Amino acid sequence: ETGWTNGQGLTVGLMLLSAATLIGHFVVVAVARQRYHERLAEMRERAHELGHGDLSTTVPEAADDLGSVGRSFNALAQRMGRMLQAQRDLLSGVSHELRSPIARIDVALELISMEIGEDAEKQELIEGIREETALLERHISRLLEAQRVGTKRVLLKRKPLVLDELVRTVMQREQLRLDKLGWRVEVDLKLGDAEVLGDENALDRVFSTLVENAIQHATPSEGSGQGPELRIETAADSDRGALVTVMDRGPGLTAEQCENVFAPFFRIDQSRSTKTGGT
């Protein structure tokens, strides 16, 4: 006769049960490890978002060690958000408060100018003070603009506009100052009546800033034998878009500086000179 006894059958059953339990344990461990790695990947992604300025990002908070790290991460993001908001509020408040005394100074200068009359030397002194107050006003406007952009509530008002006309308007506005400073300016506009979809005020600010940048950084040193030059071109690109090129003879930027140059208040010149300052 062949076959298993009851003892043999029980032994085999226990072995199968043990094997099934062991396999089940391995499956649970594998699933847990997979979930653990998924949570780590999610935390890395959230840390990446935080590093790029998204302070609203959060990670799940579970009742384990990884969840404890998540709670610390969320608390850090909240503290950073409060600190940056306080900084923005301070910048905004100070900038607005500074405009009132500047307006009073402008009125006082106008009254003084009327009293001085035709005295050329004194009028030149008054004009120098006006230029300084105008510079201060531009810095305040840039502070407010930086604060406004930082809130991420900027709503661009895009509409069709003739780009060549906008560039021409900006250059006509800047021409008097460029002539006074001895700049040779070339403007080559090739788009004609072609329209683009954009925010006219924002684009005006971009082009004006590029001209200002050239004046601040691309003026040749004395004795170089070379005068300051600026060239602005417009052209159509291969994707039916528009390309605006602004060229000067400045020192240029390194690759590292190109990565940082759009950060608020970043300066190539760390001396804090008012000639190279900006936002």
- pLDDT tens sequence across 71-117: 777 787 788 778 877 777 777 777 777 778 888 888 888 888 888 88
Give the three-class secondary structure for 187. strand
Q: What is the mean pLDDT of residues 225-235?
A: 86
What tens digit of pLDDT does each residue of 213-224 get? 888 888 766 555
Q: How confident is the model at residue 269 (pLDDT cuts 50, 70, 90)?
A: low
Q: How confident is the model at residue 173 (pLDDT cuts 50, 70, 90)?
A: confident
Q: What is the pLDDT of residue 105?
A: 87
Q: How confident is the model at residue 52 (pLDDT cuts 50, 70, 90)?
A: low
Start-to-end Cα distance in the chain: 97
Cα–Cα separations (whole angstroms), residue 234 to 38, 190, 231: 49, 6, 10
Comparing C-alpha atoms, which of 89, 204, 209, 83 is closest to residue 147?
A: 89
Q: What is the pLDDT of residue 219?
A: 73
β-bridge mates for residue 160, sequence order: 197
pLDDT > 90 fraction of the chain, expressed in percent and rounded: 13
- Residues 6 or more apart whose CB falls under 8 angstroms from that of 73 comprise 43, 46, 47, 50, 58, 59
Q: What is the mean pLDDT of residues 61-70?
A: 71
Burial of 170 (0-12, 13-18, 19+ CB in 10 A): buried
Tokens linked to 22: 């062991």
Q: What is the pLDDT of residue 167?
A: 93
Q: What is the pLDDT of residue 213?
A: 84
Reply yes or no on whether the pLDDT at 53 is more than 80: no
* pTM of the complete model: 0.52
Q: What is the mean pLDDT of residues 133-160?
A: 72
Reply yes or no on whether the pLDDT at 26 is more than 70: no
